Amino acid sequence: MSTAFASVTDITTLYRTLTSAETTRAEALLPLVSDELRVIATGVGKDLDAMVAASEPYANTVKVVTVDVVYRILRQSLEGEAMTQESQSGLGYSWSGTYSVPGGGIANAIMYNDLKKLGLLRQQMGSVMLWEEKKCSQE
On whether residue 139 sits in a domain, the answer given is: no
| Spatial CB neighbours of 120, under 8 Å, sequence gap ≥ 6 | 37, 40, 41, 44, 46, 48
On whether residue 76 sits in a domain, the answer given is: yes
Q: Residues 30-44: pLDDT tens digits?
A: 999 999 999 999 998
pLDDT at 79 over 60: no
Helix (H) or strand (E) holding 99: strand 95-99
Domain count, the chain: 1
Which of the four pLDDT bands, split at 50, 70 and 90, describes residue 129?
low
On whether residue 85 sits in a domain, the answer given is: yes
On whether residue 133 sits in a domain, the answer given is: no
Question: Is the pTM higher than 0.75?
Answer: no
Q: Residues 8-37: pLDDT tens digits?
A: 999 999 999 999 999 999 999 999 999 999
pLDDT at 95 over 60: yes
Domain that holds residue 110: 8-118
On whether residue 135 sits in a domain, the answer given is: no
